[in-house]
Structure 1
Amino acid sequence: MVAITIEITSKEWIKPSSPTPHEKKHHKLSFIDQFQPPIYVPLIFFYPKDDSSSSSSSHQPTRYHLLKQSLSDALTKFNHLAGRITGNLSVHCNDLGALLVEAKVQTALSEAAKNIPVAQLNEFLPIEPYASPNDDEIPLLAVQISSFECGGTAVGVCISHKIADISSLMNFVNYWSALSRGGNSNTSVQPIFDIPSKLFPPVPEDSAFPNYINVEKKLICKRFMFDKERLSELKKHASLDEFYGLEVKNPTRVEALSAFIWKQIINASRAKGETKSVYVASQTVNLRSRMKSLKYDSNLFGNVFVYSLASLTSWPLGNQLHELVWMFRTAIRRINDDYINLVRSGVPYLNAFYKPGGILSNPEEVQVCKFTSWCRLGAYEVDFGWGKPITVSTVAPEIKNGVILLSTKGDEGIEAWITMAEDEMAFLSDELLSLETNSLP
């Protein structure tokens, strides 16, 4: 492992290069936005030195100032990212600005990029992503530009989960990077801001939202790397021609790996002596491609996703991978227009799960594993003008039994970021450890 030292050299507020017009001063939150906790969606892009340019001592400041100016230009189109949340109802697009932090890293990128301990990755972010501050004055967008001794750069982005999901973060970053490369404001990224709150109307500010994310102490996160060959083996092992009438003979990489990890998390908790009556796997499902009757596209900006829920009421029923894959698929197939209409009802949708008798109503008897796939986002295509990143990372999700899946460079492998209670992580089976290519603490 490489110990790194990062020195913060400046902090400033970046405002839109053009003031927000009066008619665009308020942006309504959707019901799904309101349901999100006050945390950030974090992503870090690591870039090597640009050898195609002449090297000089002024090279890094040029990168920083280029990103600073293009960020200001990008905020003109994404103006609510420079605003502030008002209660839990809307964004006041007051142009107070996004936070921009400049930092220096006292090591070379080649030494750090692939060997930074998971716990230290937060130092590449401008703000603590899981601090959950419920403060109307916190920035909705924060960026840190970290310069390595070798000339490499890390761009750490945090966007408030109250207004954006990972697809929206990528929508913004793609627009920002296009401007940084010399594009203009008419680039192909054309975000749609007003539709989500019309599709999923906000509920009154005093509505009670269940705390579905419980940040617990004594959690530990490990990052497991699965290469193309291991994933192929896993897909083959999870395949079956038919199970309860549903083909599972060609599971996707994400399906096979998610099912495998779910199985190991259940086994780890049971090995510690913790038995539940219900085991649930929730998956984030992007609605942008599923609202067929509404014909909306990937440019919808906001939180445009729901959670599918696969559940087991006994164990070892479901301990075969093909069974778990079938459960994952069945849960996702339920996300149709009828289900989306239920989501649009707002609080009644939540009550279906959290009211007495609902599947999530008794946490003492239910173990929930929360899966999020950030695979095939195109994160490795983000080019600010000096090439594509050599690696893209997030930070440890501070959510018990939280799993984030990230594509590796070339989309051939998958990184699994798994957070568990510290004592349960110790029980993670040898089967998981033997399948992965390597794991980093």
Structure 2
Amino acid sequence: MDGIGKVDIIARNTIKPSSPTPDHLRIFKLSLLDQIIPPMYGLIVFFYPAETGTNFSEQSSRLRESLSRTLTTFYPMAGRTNAIEPSIDCSDDGAFFVEAKMDCELSDFLRKPDGELLNNFLPTTDPLTAQLSEGYVTLIQITGFRCGGTAVSVCISHKIGDISSLVTFLHGWTSSGEAGSPVFVGDSLLPPRDLSFAQRTDIKSGNLITKRFVFEASKISHLKDKVGAIDHNIQMINKYPSRVEVVMAQIFKCAIAASRSVTGSFKTSVLFHSVNLRPRTDPPLPENSVGNLIWFVPVVIEESEMDLRTMVHKMKRLVNEFCNEKAKKFKDHSLSVLGEFGKWAEFKEMEFYSCSSWCKFPLYETDFGWGKPIWVSSANLTFKNSIILVDTREGDGIEAWVTLEEEKMAIFERDNELLDSATFNPSAYLYITSTQSV
């Protein structure tokens, strides 16, 4: 991008808990659900305008001090993943903390966010940082802009938890001790098992590219009108599609079409739709439970089902069946989980897609002490056919971060049906009011 430089790292440190972790908590055993998740980081970046009376040094110092206090309560976040056993070594090594500067205005970046440049705000993409921080559960980077604005990225090993877990961590970090204590589930829910029988599908291959599409509230309402009410006989609390469901289906439909254009033929595709298990187990788990308390419900789409209404209805039906019939059995039933996991082998010849929704989580309430963010983003993903959905700042629209192979993305991003519903990478600067300085 013109006028946008690279991020320069100025310091790398480790932030240790303010109080040591007791000896009896030094080993945190992961659950079967944690074990199934691939070894990667959950990534999120918050952008903040300049605040009168503070500077980058003060903000960084405030961040380090509050993080140190928070790690005492969230002690596994200060540990390291065990490369051999399904566990976290809670040895108080700390969180890896990076300070960086960027010689441009925050507004210059926000006017047209660059997906590749966005990676520079992440500690996981710098080779030296990645080498030094290997095994750390938590990585943080604060980046200062020339104008005084900042970006704060929070990267948590997916082995310790899902997006809800990350939000619980953020709440504990930013609430000045007012938040309730987290509930670390670990192997108390589902003990780990031997998964040597499982063969993972390689979903990293290919030249991947991530792009951002914004679905405004009015366009989402139009999609919901096209789909209409669910007309099958399965009992549901809500028979109308949600905004997440219609956006997810629209992206899935257009991605399949792009794949067919590249390969010249239709290939049966499966979308793994993430479902939060916390409210659906029997009894329900606390909202502040930390762990991978999600399941991915497979939604298979054949060529005859390439219609938005059909796709949404099938997606809603399968997720509803899972929640009503299977989710309650997951708690304390390893065999049920292994049985569902084993069924994934049936899809190995299909085109894999996955979608995670961060919608309805209070990400725009994340205040580290200098105000709320003006923009919250996902980042470039390393897994092909991945979809991340995030609320817009207003809360009624959806930003979709879609990762496809480059050849397929070239077709996907020009799909007229997609562009009737979404805008490709609009300015995030529009979210900023005229009273805010960036």
Q: TM-score higher than 0.5 here?
A: yes
* 1:438 aligned residue (401, 424, 427): 424
Change (3 A) 1:332 1:130: farther
Distance 1:134 1:29, change over 3 A: farther
Residue of structure 2 in register with 1:170 after alignment: 167
- Structure-2 separation of matches of 1:337 and 1:120: 43
1:371-424 C-alpha deviation (Å, 9 max, x unpaired): 111111110011111111000011122222111111110212111111111111
Matches within 5 A, 1:160-239: 160-178=157-175, 183-184=176-177, 187-193=178-184, 195-204=185-194, 207-212=196-201, 214-239=203-228
Whether 1:326 and 2:308 are equivalent positions in the alignment is: no
| Structure 1: distance between partners of 2:275 and 2:92 | 32
Instruction: From the superposition, tell whether residues 33 and 241 of structure 1 become closer, same or farther in structure 2 (CA, over 3 Å).
Output: closer
Aligned residue number for residue 24 of structure 1: 25
Aligned runs of 1:32-431 on 2, under 5 Å? 32-51=33-52, 54=53, 59-86=55-82, 87-128=84-125, 137-178=134-175, 183-184=176-177, 187-193=178-184, 195-204=185-194, 207-212=196-201, 214-240=203-229, 242-243=231-232, 250-275=240-265, 278-291=268-281, 293-312=282-301, 314-315=302-303, 317-336=304-323, 338-340=325-327, 341=329, 345-346=333-334, 349-350=337-338, 352=340, 354=342, 358=343, 360-361=345-346, 363=348, 365-428=349-412, 429-431=415-417
Show CA shifts across 1:84-129 (max 9, x none). 1222321111011110000111111111134231011111011139
Percent identity among equivalent residues? 35
CA contact (8 A) 2:112 2:425 kept: no
Root-mean-square deviation over aligned CA pairs = 2.6
The alignment of Structure 1 onto Structure 2 pairs a total of residues equal to 420
Describe the shift of the 1:343–1:208 C-alpha distance in structure 2 as closer, same or farther (beyond 3 A).
farther
> 1:6 and 1:301, CA in 2 relative to 1: closer, same or farther beyond 3 A?
same
CA-CA distance at 1:198 after TM superposition: 1.7
Which AA in structure 2 matches 1:210?
Q
Shift of 1:346: 3.9
What is the rounded CA distance, in whole Å, between the counterparts of 1:325 and 1:246 in structure 2?
Answer: 16
Secondary structure, counterpart of 2:353 in structure 1: strand
* Secondary structure of 1:45 counterpart: strand
Distance 1:88 1:327, change over 3 A: farther
Distance (Å, rounded) in 2 between the aligned partners of 1:233 and 1:411: 17
Q: Quickly say closer, same or farther: Cα 1:337–1:89, change in 2 above 3 A.
A: farther
Distance 1:302 1:353, change over 3 A: closer
Q: 1:161 to 1:114 in 2, by over 3 A?
A: farther
Once residues 361 and 59 of structure 2 are traced to their aligned partners in structure 1, the CA distance between those partners, rounded to angstroms, is 24
| Structure 1 unmatched runs, 5+ | none
Separation in structure 2 between the aligned mates of residue 284 and residue 72 of structure 1, nearest angstrom: 32
SS in 2 for 1:289: helix
The CA deviation at 1:18 is: 0.5
Deviates more, 1:334-343 or 1:417-426: 334-343
Q: Flag the structure with higher helix content.
A: 2
- The separation in 1 between residues aligned to 2:296 and 2:275, in whole angstroms, is 6
**Does the residue aligned with 1:10 lie in a helix, a strand or coil?**
strand
Tell me the secondary structure at the aligned position of residue 418 of structure 1. Answer: strand
Change (3 A) 1:213 1:66: farther
Structure 2 residue runs of 5 or longer lacking an equivalent are 428-438
* Cα distance, 1:360 vs structure 2: 3.7
Displacement after TM superposition at 1:426 (Å): 2.2
